[in-house]
Amino acid sequence: MNQRFRITRSMQPDSGDQDISLEECKAYFSTKADFTYQTVLTVQGEESTMSIEGDFFMWQHGDALIPFRHYMGELYAAVSHQDVVPLMIEIAGDLRADIVEG
- Across the chain, which has 102 residues, the per-10-residue mean pLDDT values are 85 68 97 96 90 96 93 92 92 96 84
pLDDT computed for residue 13 by the predictor: 59
pLDDT computed for residue 70 by the predictor: 97
CB 25 within 8 A of CB 75: yes
Radius of gyration of the chain (CA): 14
pLDDT computed for residue 39 by the predictor: 97
β partners of residue 7 = 75, 99
pLDDT computed for residue 80 by the predictor: 82
